[in-house]
Amino acid sequence: MKKTGLINLEYVNTVIKERPRDIHKGDCGKVLVIAGSVGMAGAAVLCARGALRSGAGLVRISAPRELYPILQVGVPEATCVPRELSLPELMDSDAIAVGPGLGDDGQNAKLIRTILKEYKKTVVLDADGINTISRADLLDELRETKAQVIMTPHPGEAARLLSYCGIETSRMDRPKTAQLLVEQTRATCVLKGSGTQVATKDGESYTNTTGNPGMAAGGSGDVLTGIIAALAGQKLSPADCAKAGVFIHGMAGDLCAQSLGETGMTSLDLANMVALAFKQIIGK
């Protein structure tokens, strides 16, 4: 029988460690965030903030040029680069996050196809990054990629992708849905929601133990995508990125709820609390 279990602090303490004293930004990972579109710049801001609060050394945001003024004010620590990226620019990243607020631009499919064919490190696919797989018929490229892919769908995105694969999910439980996504895509899967599920490529399934209803707000998943991408940039395995990422995300939400209450917390509050979650885990 394949392993099942809970994602708890005891596990996270085995993968999230104190930084060496002589570390520099180049050691902490270069994360490329491909996110945002007109009217959805906030998604790129939240994803980039999630990555920076999770220890990424350098974050670049690939976005339409008209969004640069918003992004450079919203995330002054990040740099902005065009959406039309050359292959060397893509390769000069330790992890790539694709999808938050990306929209339905036809050029997105070409970019995602290039990443799946050429990139060999970790790619985190979220939101419109996932939707583009079915819209542009990229499932074969996803299954055959040399990259280590982590998908972070909410239940609706998961249902759409599995429906494209000919599978109806309405009567399935969440662990089964997550494992089916792994089987159909060959990616590590994070199925978001209450008791977030993580299913790995070796058939293991885990349930997260942190988080609260206050996190049910627009932008929360964008922060999670940034967290997972930052951990990938720091060389954690895809399974550890996914499991530790959802725990840290939920812990940040719990810290938000303690400070602000569940009703009024926002995803920007959540992104800022990620730093305190790391402090609580590491002890400094």
Binding residues for AMP: 192-196, 221
How many CA atoms does the CB half-sphere of 110 hold within 13 Å? 8
Give the amino acid at 252.
Answer: A
Annotated binding site for (6S)-NADPHX: 43, 101, 154, 222
* DSSP character at residue 94: S
CA-closest candidate to residue 282, choices 17, 57, 55, 53:
17
Which helix (H) or strand (E) segment holds residue 111: the answer is helix 107-118
Q: Is the dihedral of CA 88, 92, 94, 96 positive or negative?
A: negative
The neighbour count for residue 175, using CB atoms within 10 Å, is 17
Annotated binding site: 43, 101, 154, 192-196, 221-222
The neighbour count for residue 261, using CB atoms within 10 Å, is 10
Spatial contact of 46 and 223, defined as CB atoms under 8 Å apart? yes
Spatial contact of 138 and 113, defined as CB atoms under 8 Å apart? yes
* DSSP character at residue 91: H
CA-closest candidate to residue 218, choices 74, 78, 71, 40:
40
Read off the tokens for 61. 């945001």
Rounded CA separation 27/235 (Å): 10
CA-closest candidate to residue 233, choices 51, 14, 42:
51
